[in-house]
Chain A
Amino acid sequence: EAQVTQNPRYLITVTGKKLTVTCSQNMNHEYMSWYRQDPGLGLRQIYYSMNVEVTDKGDVPEGYKVSRKEKRNFPLILESPSPNQTSLYFCASSLSLQGLNTEAFFGQGTRLTVV
């Protein structure tokens, strides 16, 4: 089954403790991205990657890191989480960024709480 898998689904952590949210897709997609969803703000893009070893900042990259060492994986790293990073996070992938009609496939989401 074609899917985007995020782990964990729920995470509560303390300020300053490094964490990683994993994302994996099994569709051989080139393009992957991370979003955060906050009430009233919709989805805002954190980082995206157009292919292996190619990453770029989205609209709200501060406090986050990503890496793309393999095509299927795109982990999101919070080196020193803060309470304002409490949010619902989504990973998405699509076949490529080229092509207007390419739809995105989303993971189930990770609800992160930083206390």
Chain B
Amino acid sequence: AQSVTQLDSHVSVSEGTPVLLRCNYSSSYSPSLFWYVQHPNKGLQLLLKYTSAATLVKGINGFEAEFKKSETSFHLTKPSAHMSDAAEYFCVVRTSSGGSYIPTFGRGTSLIVHP
């Protein structure tokens, strides 16, 4: 069984300040983890993914995430928020279940960026 918990439904930051979006997962097997971003009235776009290579993963638009097995976490960070980062962010976990890898989505974190 697998699950993913996004710890904050909303995160509010000022432009130019750091961003931290938190994600914890549970999984019976070694997981793959993804972060997707959804801008208003748009589909989901892949930001980055962890697939058991380097634990620090760099994605698009200056985002990165660190896989911490001991903490079962995959938090998303960015050093300096931009107004265009305002969007909904989803953490996704995939593990093997009967030979296939059905993804499970978190409930999403809405990032609000103030000028």
**Sample (17) of A-B pairs whose CB atoms are under 8 Å apart:** A41-B107, A42-B106, A43-B44, A43-B90, A43-B105, A44-B105, A90-B43, A100-B30, A100-B52, A100-B94, A101-B32, A103-B46, A103-B49, A104-B44, A104-B103, A107-B43, A109-B42
Q: Which of A77-101 contact B (CB under 8 A)?
A: 90, 92, 97-101
Taking the nearest CB of chain A, how far is it from the CB of B26, in angstroms?
A: 16
- Total contacting residues, chain A, CB less than 8 A: 24
Q: Which of B13-53 contact A (CB under 8 A)?
A: 30-32, 34, 36, 41-46, 49, 51-52
10 smallest CB-CB distances across A and B, nearest first, come from A101-B51, A100-B32, A42-B107, A106-B43, A106-B44, A43-B105, A97-B100, A42-B105, A108-B43, A103-B46
Residue B115 interfacial (CB < 8 Å)? no
Tell me which residues across on chain A come within 8 A of B102, comparing CB atoms. Answer: 45, 48, 97
Q: Which of A20-79 contact B (CB under 8 A)?
A: 35, 40-45, 48, 50
- Total contacting residues, chain B, CB less than 8 A: 29
| Given contact pairs A42-B107, A97-B100, a sample of 15 additional A-B residue pairs in the complex whose CB atoms are under 8 Å apart | A43-B90, A43-B105, A45-B103, A48-B102, A98-B101, A100-B31, A100-B32, A100-B95, A100-B96, A101-B49, A103-B34, A104-B46, A106-B43, A106-B44, A109-B42
Secondary structure at chain B's binding surface: helix, strand, loop or mixed? Answer: loop
Taking the nearest CB of chain B, how far is it from the CB of A89, in angstroms?
A: 11
- Known A-B contacts A40-B107, A41-B107; A100 and B101 likewise in contact (beta carbons under 8 Å): yes
Distance between Cα atoms of A26 and B95 in the complex (Å) = 26
Distance between Cα atoms of A43 and B44 in the complex (Å) = 11
Contact with A along B47-73 (1 / 0, CB 8 A): 001011000000000000000000000
Residue A15 interfacial (CB < 8 Å)? no
Distance between Cα atoms of A69 and B32 in the complex (Å) = 30
In this complex, the member of B41, B96, B99, B106 whose beta carbon has the largest number of chain A beta carbons within 10 angstroms is B41
